[in-house]
Amino acid sequence: MDFKQPPENTGKEHENEGSARRFKNGLVAELWTKDGPFWESVSDMRARWGIDVQPQLAPGDGRRIGDLVFPRSAPEYISGEFSDFLTRWIQDLRYIKDKNVPPQFEDAADWNAFISACVLYDPLEESLIDFAKYGDSLAVHAPYTGEPSNEAAKRPLTAAAPIRRLPSEADLRQVQFWLFARILDEIKRDPGLLRSDTNEVIESILQTNFDLRFEYFKRMRELPRQWYIEVAAGITKTQVGNTFDKIVGARKQQGEGGAPKRDALIALQCAILYDDHNGRDPEDPRRKKWTYEKLAKKFGLPSARSAKAYVQEGRERHAKKPRPEE
């Protein structure tokens, strides 16, 4: 059984899929090379759950609900233990998602399904791109080349929507959990604090424990923050656009702009096909099965020269993959 592929949609409404696809492909590149923060998160979950990883493309006959897949050790659906198992399984998947998926991509895929497949299976080297499509939403955007796209036009800032710089919910929860743990320590030392309202207890402790207060605000200040556009009453589409252009311009000044990097997974797949799965073409034995021209056509790259660059980058990434004995 293969992964179910959603229908291809090449309409202009999906022309901006490139960054989301490149990000999701990059996660599979980490998984295959066993290198990077996403791989570390997956590896940790595999170890804690005692997962016996199988190299395969699809869930096959494995346990699943929809596209969410489970290890073979999962309890039977009708058992009393399954509800507790499912809660813990999804909590761990969400933890990986919160730690590795930026807010702008939260709705780009069914991340629980995708990450569950990453935890249970190693992708086959000939099918890395297909593996990365698991958990795609039903509408798949048009193919992209990984080459530079049209830059957003900069306009003079007039009336604009307000900008907020906020930490992610996952990072904020970590600081809050740390604070709650310290508050509990203070209450254990002085149970009399419980006579007051909860908010008053927290405020009192922060006012009297200067070291705790200093550390709490220090952690809050150091949280990484992203820009958000606030769309409140009276804000127009033009004002939102003006604000967006301001953010884009600021990021380019900070060196965050420029041409997007090549898709790591396409680079790996090109190198693997060209170097390791490149026998004679069945239709023309005089030629290799994979040429730069054929790779460019298969992956929507602009030219054979571009495909050659992808192969070269893929070789460098391939070389970093640990050997089996490692």
Residue 39 has pLDDT above 90, yes or no: yes
Nearest CA among 101, 142, 148 for reference residue 16: 142
Residue type, 32: W
Provide the β-strand partners of residue 291. none
Residue 92 tokens read as 């761990």
In the predicted structure, residue 59 carries a pLDDT above the cut 80: no
Confidence tier at 251 by pLDDT (50, 70, 90): low
- Top pLDDT among 173 and 104 is at 173
Dihedral (C-alpha) 39, 44, 47, 52: value to the nearest 10 degrees?
-30
The answer to whether the beta carbons of residues 152 and 244 sit under 8 Å apart is yes
46-to-39, 40, 71, 92, 114 alpha-carbon distances in Å: 10, 10, 10, 10, 15
- Mean of the per-residue pLDDT values for the chain? 77
Is the distance from CB of 18 to CB of 146 less than 8 angstroms? yes
Q: In terms of pLDDT, which residue wins out, 84 or 6?
A: 84
pLDDT of residue 143: 41
The rounded distance, in Å, linking the Cα atoms of 30 and 81 is 33
**Confidence band of 125 (pLDDT split at 50, 70, 90):** confident
Spatial neighbors of 265 by CB under 8 A, at least 6 apart, are 25, 26, 28, 29, 32, 128, 129, 132
Do residues 292 and 304 lie in contact, with contact meaning Cβ atoms separated by under 8 Å?
yes
CA–CA distance, 145 with 306 (Å, rounded to integer): 9
Sign of CA dihedral 295, 299, 304, 310: negative
Q: Residue 250 CB: number of other CB atoms within 10 A?
A: 13
Tokens of 170: 């996952």
User: What pTM does this model have?
Assistant: 0.59
SS3 288: strand
Q: Are 121 and 53 in contact (CB under 8 A)?
A: yes
- Does pLDDT of 289 surpass 70? yes
Poorest-pLDDT segment among 69-83, 130-144, 226-240, 246-260: 246-260
Distance CA 61, CA 59 (A): 6
